[in-house]
Amino acid sequence: MYRYDEFDQDFVHARVAEFSDQVQRRLAGEITEDQFRPLRLMNGVYLQLHAYMLRIAVPYGTLNSRQLRMLGHIARKYDKGYGHFTTRQNIQFNWPALSDIPAILADLASVEMHAIQTSGNCIRNVTADHFAGAAADEVADPRPYAEILRQWSSVHPEFSFLPRKFKIAVTGAERDRAAIQTHDIGLHLKKNAAGELGFAVYVGGGQGRTPMVAKKIRDFLPEADLLSYCTAILRVYNLYGRRDNKYKARIKILVHETGVEEITRQIEAEWQELKDAELKLPEADIQAINAYFAPPALTARPEGDDAVKQARLDSKSFSEWLDQNVVTHRHPDYAAVTISLKGIGEVPGDASDSQMEAVADIAEKYAFDELRVSHEQNLILPHVARADLKKVYDALVEIGLATANSNLISDIISCPGLDYCALATARSIPIAQEISQRFASLERQREIGELKLKISGCINACGHHHVGHIGILGVEKKGSELYQVTLGGSADENTSVGEIIGRGFSSEEITDAIEQIVDTYLGLRLSSDERFIDAYRRVGPAPFKEALYAGETKAA
């Protein structure tokens, strides 16, 4: 993985020193909250309901054991023994004292981590496919490009005060696991007919109160032009993006109001001025960054087939976990493992200090010291020899992280909601927990098949409800929590925004409603191979409306 060079390390240390000084001056009353707020936000410090919150960047979701161990240490020493992995592949701590944050940032810097640009109207943490470098279906590892974007966007003087925040995602496979079409810029790394690497470029996706699927504005951008083209997009946005209304300030609104054709023309015109200048990426630089992401030496481990076969016979639960949480690796003797942070009835995305440390140990011992955070709020071991899968499974069982529910209905994305967040209008986590409990039987979940359920506690949609096969949005209505349901959303290569199915449900009704939707699907699917999303696209909302609301219409 990427290692800081001297420049990176000096930069991060300098920032720790600068922000520590700002914190000291704030605590001493030398600067006001109005002066301090933008400074703390630039360093990932929010104020929530109960305390401050610190959001730490995990660039493109890649971590090593030492870093995860440090996160566990921070959870224990400065927080309340746990952390929350987010949909931006980052981690948040919910209880740090402001006075401790300089020490936390110094600890982070010692393992090449920081909290820079995890908030504010700048380019946020660039996300990538969590199976990058391991996926069997990938054209090339997208992370070197994410790293190039990270270096370019870090304290970029022109793009530090954008109209609004700006999110970029990169995938290297046809099957999009990075939700690129829900991003301000989505990049799909691919090869052209000549075998050269480049990107399909999508612009103007986003969720929030106005969900939009990104528009493809270029089918193939040569890799050398990555930064000049992104600069052109950001320049057009920075110039014309709305600053008069926070809710209309994202690039998705600009793309929508300007029209795809015209905005593409503007971007291309801007790019003509930039494309052959200093932003053109030299091949040697790309190679230098690529070298950091050289895959680990995956030696042949052909004994894996027999080992897995035997272990399957010995343990049904291992066999189920293998089927659900383990995916094919590009090397036949290896596999990529999803560590579910969605235990039945648990808080989605939360991990305790000791779990973090134990997972770090597992990664060090069996997974070439490499870990990923997925945007679906799970942890990933990207490279595990099949021969070691049973040992990894056993170690995960010991720490309660072997739930075999990846991509099933209890693998829920949920924002923190009103239990923590100052912006939330309703709670998300208790709803996720109740649904997870209702569908606790893994047998039943597997019978249902792939089902992406996502919950947000306010219209800002941090829980990605718009692109859930089933989405739940919590709002406040007449002083009570009310949950709106959307169906038919998706965040893969066929991205779609879900449609509101009808009136909302109270917190007491919502789990029953979800069960009714699932039962309706089971009753109408053509076969067990037809996933929920495929069935919904075939039949539309009518049968689900009928199941949920028919009684009411008749009564009325």
Partner 1 sequence: MKVLTANRLSDGIAVWYADGGWAETVGHADIAHDKTGEDRLETIGAAAAANNEVVDVNLIDVEVVDGLVEPVRLREKIRAAGPTIRTDLGKQAAPEAIGA
Binding-site ranges for partner 1 (CB under 8 A):
26-27, 29, 32-33, 47-52, 80, 95-99, 347, 418-420, 424, 427, 429-430, 433, 476, 479-481
206-229 as b/e: b if 16+ CB within 10 A: bbbebbbbbbebbeebebbbbbbb
By C-beta, is 50 or 503 nearer to partner 1?
A: 50
Residue 247: strand, helix, or coil: helix
With beta carbons less than 8 A apart as the criterion, state whether 143 and 135 touch. no
By C-beta, is 52 or 544 nearer to partner 1?
A: 52
Amino acid at residue number 485: V
With beta carbons less than 8 A apart as the criterion, state whether 482 and 505 touch. yes
What is the smallest separation between the CB atom of 417 and partner 1, expressed in angstroms?
9
Q: Which alpha helices (H) appear in 241-303, and where do they start and end?
A: 251-258, 260-274, 283-292
By C-beta, is 74 or 327 nearer to partner 1?
A: 74
What is the smallest separation between the CB atom of 403 and partner 1, expressed in angstroms?
18
Cβ neighbours of residue 476 under 8 Å, at least 6 residues apart?
425, 426, 482
Residue 32: strand, helix, or coil: coil
What is the smallest separation between the CB atom of 292 and partner 1, expressed in angstroms?
37
By C-beta, is 364 or 476 nearer to partner 1?
A: 476
**DSSP class per residue in 287-303:** HHHHHHTPPP-----TT
What is the smallest separation between the CB atom of 435 and partner 1, expressed in angstroms?
14
What is the smallest separation between the CB atom of 345 and partner 1, expressed in angstroms?
10
**Could you tell me whether strands 453-456 and 413-414 are parallel, antiparallel, or unpaired per DSSP bridges?**
parallel
Cβ neighbours of residue 127 under 8 Å, at least 6 residues apart?
60, 61, 88, 89, 146, 167, 168, 169, 170, 178, 183, 375
Residue 60 has which token pair? 């493109």
What is the smallest separation between the CB atom of 418 and partner 1, expressed in angstroms?
6
Q: What is the CA radius of gyration of the chain?
A: 23
What is the smallest separation between the CB atom of 83 and partner 1, expressed in angstroms?
13
Residue 539 has which token pair? 């039949």
What is the smallest separation between the CB atom of 55 and partner 1, expressed in angstroms?
14
By C-beta, is 21 or 546 nearer to partner 1?
A: 21
Q: Give the length of the chain.
A: 556
By C-beta, is 347 or 453 nearer to partner 1?
A: 347
**DSSP class per residue in 370-402:** EEEE-TTS-EEEEEEEGGGHHHHHHHHHHTT--
**DSSP class per residue in 153-212:** HTT-GGGSS-SS-B-EEEE-BSS-SS-GGGSSEEEEEEE-TTS-EEEEEEE--B-TTS-B
By C-beta, is 3 or 478 nearer to partner 1?
A: 478
What is the smallest separation between the CB atom of 396 and partner 1, expressed in angstroms?
23
What is the smallest separation between the CB atom of 48 and partner 1, expressed in angstroms?
8
By C-beta, is 80 or 301 nearer to partner 1?
A: 80
Q: What share of the chain is helix, strand, coil (3-state, %, to 5)?
A: 45, 20, 40
By C-beta, is 81 or 259 nearer to partner 1?
A: 81
By C-beta, is 6 or 33 nearer to partner 1?
A: 33
CA distances from 370 to 43, 155, 335, 367 (A): 26, 27, 13, 6
What is the smallest separation between the CB atom of 27 and partner 1, expressed in angstroms?
6
What is the smallest separation between the CB atom of 51 and partner 1, expressed in angstroms?
4
Residue 314 has which token pair? 């010995």
C-alpha–C-alpha distance, residues 151 and 145, integer Å: 10
Residue 407 has which token pair? 């991509």
By C-beta, is 32 or 553 nearer to partner 1?
A: 32
By C-beta, is 47 or 260 nearer to partner 1?
A: 47
By C-beta, is 26 or 215 nearer to partner 1?
A: 26
C-alpha–C-alpha distance, residues 304 and 512, integer Å: 43
What is the smallest separation between the CB atom of 50 and partner 1, expressed in angstroms?
6
Any long-range contacts for 185-194 (C-beta under 8 Å, 24+ apart)? 185/214, 185/230, 185/233, 186/214, 187/142, 187/145, 187/226, 189/139, 189/140, 189/142, 189/145, 189/223, 190/139, 190/220, 191/139, 191/140, 192/220
